Amino acid sequence: MPLLFLLVACWGAIATYTALVRVRRLPQLGFAVLMLAWPTGEWPLFHIAWQVLATAAFGLLGAFEEPIGGIGLAITVVSWIGLLQVHRIGNRARPSMQEAFAETLGADYLDRLDPVRREALRHRPDGGWSRLPVYFDRNGIAIDHDRSYGEHPKRQLLDIYRPAERVTGAPVILQIHGGAWVIGHKQQQGQPLMHRLAGQGYVAVAMNYRLAPKARFPDPVIDVKAAIAWIRENIAEYGGDPDTVFVTGGSAGGHLAALAALTPNLAAFQPGFTEVDTTVVGCIPFYGPADFCDRHGIRGRFAAMEPFLRRMVMPVPLHEDPALWDLVSPITHVGPDAPPFLVIQGENDVLVYREETRRFVDELRAVSRQPVIYWEVPGAQHAFDTFNSPRAAVAVDAVETFVGHVMATRVRTP
């Protein structure tokens, strides 16, 4: 029993360490680190609670009757101190978000919002049931499932989250799921965001897209463009404004969101529907890879994405068609006509490096005529916003604030 307690204590301490520190020295273990750091970082007080109960149970079973049990107890106490620090870092999310907005838009950015939208903004996470990771309040929300935007029977489908009461002219947010372009589903990600926005009078659209390795690039971004085309033609029936479309997504979805936003009406991504305007009015990529070519050497040889992309995602290796790899990298397409961007990146992300995201933001800011807000979320890991958590709630509030600001300052053109 003392040895078992020591092993449990070490496991908890490792989880705490991964939530506190970005682990980059072993990139091959990135996914394993993520699965430890992500739940620990988002719910540290929960981890303290179960560890206290487990420690008490081990004590009753005699785990502290030998010195090895005392070592385990010391490790556990240190882990609790670390978890309290994780919690403290998480509490910095809202101030850091507000600083990011003020740095780009000015300290009076909230004053420019429509008064109704400003009044509806949430300034702290909701309480009660909404604190549970997978509880989503559907009061006042209607969801229309599996609307087809293409010929594929399973992957070219949309879900529409909208107010239950009839609305007209509501801003539309297209949510693109992540999953390394090989897995994922429209009902698995973006749920806190879509439920919140639909409850506030917006229309949110969640899409599936064709997955690798069966579908290779540029097929996924073609699907995103096709979904935007469907929204243009049909979303008014659900209360949305077809001329006010935002695009967002996390990880692979963040990559596709940025790529779609930066390539409006690019014929290579719109085969068979080049006449459709696929311009969006704003983009909110969450921790999305920006450069398939790693042209600045940020990831290096040992952490390179190129082997995975070559094997699973791209139709040809980089050396055979560098132009195609360049074409599907968002950083290639930064320019003066880019829409407003809110780029969200976890500080401790072990899969998408913050240095790559910073480089993308710097290059976009250097040329874009529109605001580019960059919020690096303190202590956040990859996929931190997938379920309800205090930090995820702040991310949702950031998106709502950004959409409100774009709407308030947007100049419509014919």
**Tens-digit pLDDT profile for residues 214-273:** 999 999 999 999 999 999 999 999 999 999 999 999 999 999 999 999 999 999 999 999
Helices and strands per DSSP (H, E), number in the chain: 13, 8
Around 373, how many Cα atoms within 13 Å sit in the side-chain half-sphere? 31
pLDDT tens digits along 302-340: 788 999 999 999 999 999 999 999 999 999 999 999 999
The reported pLDDT for the residue numbered 413 is 58
Q: Does residue 382 carry a catalytic annotation?
A: yes
Active site residue 251: yes
- Single out the catalytic residue among 159, 241, 294, 349: 349
Q: Is 303 exposed, middle or buried (0-12, 13-18, 19+ CB in 10 A)?
A: middle
For 39-88, how does the pLDDT look when each residue is reduced to its tens digit (9 = 90+)? Answer: 999 999 999 999 999 999 999 989 898 999 999 999 999 999 999 999 99
Residue 1 is predicted with a pLDDT of: 87
123 CB burial (10 A radius; 0-12, 13-18, 19+): exposed
Structure confidence at residue 31 (pLDDT)? 87
CA-CA distance, 171 to 241, in Å (whole number)? 6
Can you tell me which residue has the tokens 């790693």? 294
Q: Which amino acid is at 241?
A: D
Q: Catalytic residue among 251, 329, 368, 389, which? A: 251
The answer to whether 404 and 117 have CB atoms below 8 angstroms apart is yes
Architecture per CATH, 93-409: 3-Layer(aba) Sandwich (3.40)
| Candidate list 47, 382, 385, 397, residue with the active-site label | 382
Distance, CA of 99 to CA of 154 (rounded, Å): 42
Which residues contact residue 68 at a Cβ distance below 8 angstroms, ignoring those fewer than 6 apart?
2, 3, 6
Find out whether 185 and 177 touch, Cβ atoms under 8 Å: yes
What are the DSSP E strand ranges found in 29-188? 141-148, 157-163, 170-176
Q: What is the pLDDT of residue 30?
A: 85
Average pLDDT in the 79-102 region? 97
Separation of alpha carbons 373 and 384, rounded Å: 19
Mean pLDDT score, 25-44: 87
If pLDDT is split at 50, 70 and 90, which confidence band does 130 have?
Answer: low
Measured distance CA(17)–CA(315) in Å, rounded: 39
Length of the chain counted residue by residue: 414
More confident residue, 301 or 199: 199
Question: What residues contact residue 239 under an 8 Å CB cut-off, 6+ apart?
Answer: 162, 163, 166, 167, 168, 169, 170, 203
Distance in angstroms (rounded) separating the CA atoms of residues 62 and 58: 6
pLDDT at 133 over 80: yes
Residue 28 has pLDDT above 70, yes or no: yes
How far apart, in whole angstroms, are the C-alpha atoms of residue 134 and residue 322? 42
With a cut of 80, say whether residue 275 has pLDDT above it: yes
Give bridge partners of residue 207 from the DSSP assignment. Answer: 158, 176
Residue indicated by tokens 């420690």: 55
For range 177-202, the mean pLDDT: 96
**Which 3 state secondary structure label does DSSP give 12?**
helix
Name the token pair of 209.
Answer: 């897209």
Pairing state between β 170-176 and 372-377: unpaired
